[in-house]
Amino acid sequence: MADKSKFIEYIDEALEKSKETALSHLFFTYQGIPYPVTMCTSETFQALDNFEARSDDIVLASYPKCGSNWILHIVSELIFAVSKKKYDYPEFPVLECGDSEKYQRMKQFPSPRILATHLHYDKLPGSIFKNKAKILVIFRNPKDVAVSFFHFHNDVPDIPSYGSWDEFFRQFMKGQVSWGSYFDFAINWNMHLDDENVKLILYEDLKENLAAGIKQIADFFGFSLTGEQIQTISAQSTFQAMQAKSQETHGAVGPFLFRKGEIGDWKNLFSETQSREMEEKFKEYLAGTSLGARLKYESHCQP
Ligand SMILES: Nc1ncnc2c1ncn2[C@@H]1O[C@H](COP(=O)(O)OS(=O)(=O)O)[C@@H](OP(=O)(O)O)[C@H]1O
């Protein structure tokens, strides 16, 4: 992948801040959503209101732990395949993270710019819609998301840990975690998945057929690649390939971020009661919705 020194620099700074931050002080709330103080500030959110998106920006929207680093890698490889130029990360790619001056600096960046984000649909800057940037939305089943999220907190030495999985589960179900509730994020997006310039991709589908998923992503963003190029990117984007390079691409946090990369790891942590609670919540929020059907809960989340 591209030279990610800025990327790693930013992650290292966030980890450094995390060392001094207790879990009880990790979150601040902005417009009703909790964000980690180690990565987000209200000044940056205010500056984001005036961010000027371009029509050829590539927006990658996901709730945390749905595979955004995977898609970032795939998209930067697609750009490389068609332009022969390595996609450079002059800023940390998550739009809402960083200092409030970053949007000024981003004005100088060449197109296409990749904008990853965990923001809920209604918190995205209006210029993304006004200027018709394409948005790829990545979803993953809520049980594996919760488990991945919990491990990230409790495995990375410098990130505040939860007392137990049960404690994390309670907070996750209440939406008292970074970037708020999975379910609010999902119902918000559910209403926009068929909008012009929006495409949904599932972590589980990508896992089951990586080459087909990469082809869909390439087609959506208008990148024309040969079958051989798709196969090459596919081989470089497996979990094993990305995990092997994770220290180089993401620094100290890499091996924790690329942890297991499987479907169904929830079976190692969820109790029967927690499974029932999750199913109730899923039904309450997503039963009968288009996203609810597309997430294939019965295949990926039922014991
Ligand atoms: N190539 C590939 N194949 C399969 N799975 C992959 C891949 N790359 C990342 N991952 C898994 O995605 C999980 C991390 O998600 P995110 O990148 O969205 O995390 S973050 O919110 O940006 O911190 C995290 O999931 P878990 O392993 O279950 O914790 C990663 O392992």
The answer to whether residue 207 scores a pLDDT higher than 90 is yes
pLDDT in tens, 154-179: 999 989 999 999 999 999 999 999 99
Using a 6 Å CB cutoff, which residues line ligand 1? Answer: 62, 64-70, 144, 148, 151, 207, 237-239, 242, 257-261, 265
Cis status, amide bond into 112, omega within 30 of 0: yes
Query: For 302, which DSSP code?
Result: -
Average pLDDT of span 226-250: 97
Instruction: Give the residue numbers annotated as catalytic, written as ranges.
Output: 118
Counting beta carbons within 10 angstroms of the beta carbon of residue 108, is it exposed (0 to 12), middle (13 to 18) or buried (19 or more)? exposed
Average pLDDT of span 257-276: 98
At residue 90, the pLDDT reads 85
**Is residue 303 very low, low, confident or very high in pLDDT (cuts 50, 70, 90)?**
confident
pLDDT in tens, 29-51: 999 999 999 999 999 999 999 99
CA angle (293 as vertex; 70, 281 as ends), nearest 5: 90
- Output 134 or 19, whichever has higher pLDDT: 134
- Which residue type is seen at 109? F
Alpha carbons within 13 angstroms on the beta-carbon side of residue 237 total: 29
Query: For 123, which DSSP code?
Result: G
pTM: 0.97
Average pLDDT of span 99-120: 96
At residue 1, the pLDDT reads 41
CA of 187 to the centre of ligand 1 (A): 22
Average pLDDT of span 123-145: 98
At residue 55, the pLDDT reads 98
The answer to whether residue 26 scores a pLDDT higher than 90 is yes
**Summary count for the chain: helices (H), strands (E):** 17, 6
Of residues 84, 81, 86, 112, the one with CA closest to residue 232:
81
By percentage, how much of the chain surpasses pLDDT 90?
91
At residue 96, the pLDDT reads 98
Tokens of 165: 């999985």
By percentage, how much of the chain surpasses pLDDT 70?
98
The answer to whether residue 190 scores a pLDDT higher than 80 is yes
CA of 251 to the centre of ligand 1 (A): 15
At residue 2, the pLDDT reads 43
Ligand 1: which atom is nearest the Cα of residue 66? 18
Residues 6+ apart with CB under 8 A from 144: 65, 203, 262, 263, 264, 265, 266, 300
The answer to whether residue 61 scores a pLDDT higher than 50 is yes
At residue 89, the pLDDT reads 84
Q: CA 43, CA 101: separation in Å to the nearest integer? A: 9
CA of 200 to the centre of ligand 1 (A): 17
Q: CA 146, CA 142: separation in Å to the nearest integer? A: 6
